[in-house]
Amino acid sequence: MKKILVSACLYGGEIVRYDGGDTACTHPIFLKWKEEGRLIKVCPEVFGGLPTPRPDSQRVGDKVMTGAGKDVTAEYTKGANEAARLAEENAVVFAVMKAHSPSCGSQMIYDGTFTDTLKPGQGMAVEKLRNAGVKIFNEDQLEEALAYFESL
C-alpha cells in the first residue's frame, strides 16, 4: 500500500499544536486516505521533546527561536530528523504537511519577527524531507496531491 506522511495536527485525534488547538483536516480526499490506513502521522515538534502547549516559535535564519528569544533549534532539528526517518522507514510516496508552521510549512512561513507576517520559506522538517527527496503538499493542495497520487 502506498503510504503518505502527514502532520499529526492534520490527522487529528491528539493535541499536538503549540497552542493546544485542533486543526484536523476534514477534506474528503484526506479522510479517504485516512480510512484506507495509508497515513503516517508525525509531529516533529513533539518528536523533538517540546511540550504541548509550547511557546510560539519561528525560523530566524538557520535557527528557530521562541518569541521570548530562547533558541529551540536543537529540538526542531531532532524532530525534523525523526520525521525524515519515519518517511524513509515507511517509504512514503509524498507528504501532506500543515501550512505556515516552522516545522511543517512548505511555501510560506512566519518571518521571525513575531508580527504575524508571512514570507516565502519552509519549516525545518519540510526542509529535511525535501532534502531526502520527499515531495510535499499542504492541506490546501489536496486536489493536486490526489492527481499526483493517481499518477504513481
Q: Would you tell me which residues interact with ligand SF4 (CB under 6 A)?
A: 7-9, 16-17, 43-45, 98, 101, 103-104
d(CA 64, CA 68): 12
Strand partners, 120: 108
**Separation between Cα atoms, residue 29 and residue 49, nearest integer Å:** 31
- The rounded Cα 6 to chain-centroid distance in angstroms is 7
Q: How far is the CB of 114 from ligand SF4 (least distance, A)?
A: 16
Residue 17 to residue 102: CA distance in whole angstroms = 12
Residue closer to ligand SF4 (CB basis): 9 or 72 = 9
Decide whether 8 or 134 has the Cβ nearer to ligand SF4. Answer: 8
- Closer to ligand SF4 at the Cβ: 75 or 93? 75
Name the residue nearer to ligand SF4 (CB basis): 16 or 93. Answer: 16
Rounded CA separation 139/151 (Å): 19
Apex 95 CA angle, 89 and 96, nearest 5: 145
Instruction: Return the number of the residue (55 or 147) whose C-beta is nearest ligand SF4.
Output: 55
Minimum Å distance from CB 11 to ligand SF4?
8
Sign of CA dihedral 59, 67, 105, 110: negative
Q: How far is the CB of 17 from ligand SF4 (least distance, A)?
A: 4
The least distance separating ligand SF4 from the CB of residue 6, rounded to whole angstroms, comes to: 8
